[in-house]
Amino acid sequence: MSAQPFVTVFAIYPNLTHLDFTGPHQVLCRLPNSQTIIASRDGGDIVAEGGLVIGQTVRLADIPRCDLICVPGGMTTTEVALDEAFVGEIRRLASGAKYITSVCTGSLILGAAGLLQGKRAACHWAWRGMLTEFGAIPDEARVVRDGNIFTGGGVTAGIDFAFTMFAEIAGEGYAKALTLGLEYAPAPPYACGRPELADHETLSRVAANMDKAMAQRLAEAREAGARLTAQTGTA
pTM score of the predicted model: 0.96
Q: What is the mean pLDDT of residues 67-83?
A: 98
Per-residue model confidence as pLDDT tens digits over 107-134? 999 999 999 999 999 999 999 999 999 9
Helix (H, G, I), strand (E, B) or coil at 197: coil
Measured between alpha carbons, how far is 122 from 127 in angstroms, rounded to an integer? 10
Question: Residues with catalytic annotation?
Answer: 104
| Backbone phi, psi, residue 173, to 5° | -60, -50
For residue 3, what pLDDT band results from cuts at 50, 70 and 90? confident
pLDDT at 235 over 70: no
**Residue 205: what residue type?**
R
Measured between alpha carbons, how far is 192 from 13 in angstroms, rounded to an integer? 29
Averaged pLDDT score across all residues of the chain: 97
**Contact, 72 vs 24, CB < 8 A?**
yes
Element (H, E) at 25: helix 18-28
Torsion angle, alpha carbons of 92, 94, 96, 99, to 10: 170
| Backbone phi, psi, residue 42, to 5° | -110, 0
